[in-house]
Amino acid sequence: MRKRLKNSLIGNAALAAALFAGFLMLAGAPHASADDDCQRRIAKADHKLHEAIEHHGYESKQAEHWRRQLHEARERCWNANHRWWDEDGHRWRSDHDWDDHDHDHDRDHH
């Protein structure tokens, strides 16, 4: 009887440990996907802004559209995670210090 009780306790402990490990993996997943989503949105808007400036001009309606999209993507990430992806620096930033005119240097090249 004691052996069966001991095996049952070990089995229950192993099951509890496995369930806890699974919970920890799932709990970490949404944060990673939120980061991936933020990074992807900012990178896309940044790229599209560069393309719009190159093809249509710095003050074009296309450039203004992607400038707004970039600002909104940065704001969304900041509000959700208190950090934003710096596509030009290829790093996460934890200060609310982006510059909505950080693409002004593109004006001089076109």
Q: Is the entire prediction scored with pTM above 0.75?
A: no
Task: With cut-offs at 50, 70 and 90, classify the pLDDT of residue 23.
Answer: low
Phi, psi of 45 (to 5 degrees): -65, -40
C-alpha span between 38 and 91 (Å, rounded): 12
Whether the Cβ atoms of residue 79 and residue 27 lie closer than 8 Å to each other: no
Domain assignment of residue 21, yes or no? no
Whether the Cβ atoms of residue 66 and residue 45 lie closer than 8 Å to each other: yes
pLDDT of residue 100: 84
Q: Which residue has the higher pLDDT, 12 or 29?
A: 12
Mean pLDDT, residues 17-28:
63
Q: For residue range 61-80, what is the model confidence (pLDDT) as tens digits?
A: 999 999 999 999 999 999 99
pLDDT of residue 57: 97
Domain assignment of residue 11, yes or no? no
Domain assignment of residue 45, yes or no? yes
C-alpha span between 82 and 61 (Å, rounded): 30
Domain hosting residue 102, numbered range: 33-108
Residue 34: left if φ>0, alpha if ψ -120 to 50, beta else—which one?
alpha
Domain assignment of residue 66, yes or no? yes
